[in-house]
Amino acid sequence: MPAHGSRAPSADRLPLCLVGCGGMGGRHLSAYAALAGVGHWHADLVAVYDIRADAANTMADAAEELLGRRPAVHTSLDGVLGDSRIAALDLVTDPASHHAVAVPALLAGRHVLSEKPLGLTMRACQAMVDAARRSGAVLATAENYRRGGANRMARTVVEAGLLGRPHLMVQLLVGGDDRVMITPWRHDKLHGSIALDMGVHLADLVEFYLGPVEIAYGLGLVAEPVRRTADDGRIQATGEDSLIGQLRTRSGVEVQLAYLPSGPGHRYVQRTIHGSAGSMTIPPDRTDGEVEVRRAGGVVTGAQLRSELTTSWALDDVTVALLGPDGTGGGAPFAEVDAGYLGVEIADFVAAVREGRAPEVDGARGARAVAVVLAILESGASGQPVRVDDVLSGAVHAYQEEIDDALGLSPSRETPRQPHSRQEVGTS
């Protein structure tokens, strides 16, 4: 028997098509089910799309079991755009094809929620943002780390002035091994390296806490040139698996960033913000750790910290329903917490379309996160500090040229790369 009962499409729900029926598509489907389970699912999954018919049919079967009705199956973008029932796309294909799906969909008046990174280059991102602007359709970026209670709390602490004037943020994720990270394409520069894929999470959090990044200096590197597959095969990495950067925000805060998932031994994670009146430690994402604020009088955390923030601290109803009163998931299994984080971002997109407002992370914000990471990679290519605005404008683009050419986005080429299904069960 279906988990939530069979029902027909409802006129007051957003008719949605899930685009990409690999691992990430399955995670989004779990998020739909989580929203339905707490009474906050205000869309209808009317269709799924994947160029692989077997994957699309498998996803449609899973949707019927979880949501109570089997969606239509499409195996071409023309089929999706020709389906008048579909008002919006939830786009979870591999990132190299985001623009190839989103641009025609947006120009056809379909709203789009795109997984991060929004695009692999600024030309790809800008094509999507421009298409949304021309059509008036909503373009949102699925950036989920900021949705957790700890990151909401951290931003509120900064805004409330409990740290005084922020001087420094340190964000480190260091340590790993030589295994393939989720899927082989994440080690392919032309399909979206793990440094970009994970880097946009980190860049988005910097700007979420501290405002726009202005200047970046650093580099990307391939710390593990040969990666081992699950069946003990070997692949040669062409895309950066690591990112090391020094950033400066427009407000003058220095940010030290290191993402280096390589090297056996201890894995080290740190996210701290240091200011004139104290410092703050933020727990790893998608855990039930507490934000801690250290000042001259001692450490403040938990209920005591929330009481100091008074009315400035609040979570929306969807977050509380999915992740509990503190927005952390309360130690639930990872799959449930993951579905909750994704559910919050999906619910925001659906509400934005239904209410005629901007989503929390629109296309422009998604493009900025990509630009911050690309500024670090462009800095590595030039050996010079790079302004994020120069990446956004296209004035600095040397690192991206090879990718744009492969995507058909160089000025001399007109044919975009065709979409593929996103396969991984990853870190989005």
Query: What gap in Å lies between CA 174 and CA 218, rounded to an integer?
Result: 16
Residue 182 banded pLDDT, cuts 50, 70, 90: confident
pLDDT digits (tens, 9 = 90+) for 63-100: 999 999 999 999 999 999 999 999 999 999 999 999 99
Phi and psi, residue 274, nearest 5° = -120, 130
Residue 312 banded pLDDT, cuts 50, 70, 90: confident
2 has pLDDT over 60: no
Domain regions of the chain by residue span: 148-314
7 has pLDDT over 60: no
Q: What is the pLDDT of residue 423?
A: 43
Lowest-confidence range among 40-54, 223-237, 241-255?
223-237
CATH architecture of 148-314: 2-Layer Sandwich (3.30)
Q: What is the pLDDT of residue 411?
A: 82
Q: Kind of pairing, strands 213-221 and 242-249?
A: antiparallel
Q: CB 387: neighbour CB atoms within 10 A?
A: 18
- The predicted model gives 295-315 an average pLDDT of 89
Q: Kind of pairing, strands 292-295 and 298-301?
A: antiparallel
- The predicted model gives 286-300 an average pLDDT of 94
pLDDT digits (tens, 9 = 90+) for 29-73: 999 999 999 999 999 999 999 999 999 999 999 999 999 999 999
Phi and psi, residue 71, nearest 5° = -75, 160
Residue 10 banded pLDDT, cuts 50, 70, 90: low
Q: What is the pLDDT of residue 184?
A: 87
- Region of 421 (left: φ > 0; alpha: ψ -120 to 50; beta: rest) is beta
pLDDT digits (tens, 9 = 90+) for 141-159: 999 999 999 999 999 999 9
Tokens describing residue 301: 């955390």
Q: What is the pLDDT of residue 425?
A: 36
Return the amino acid letter for 330: G
pLDDT digits (tens, 9 = 90+) for 371-423: 999 999 999 999 999 999 999 999 999 999 999 999 999 886 544 444 444 44
Query: What gap in Å lies between CA 244 and CA 232, rounded to an integer?
Result: 29
- The predicted model gives 276-289 an average pLDDT of 95
5 has pLDDT over 90: no
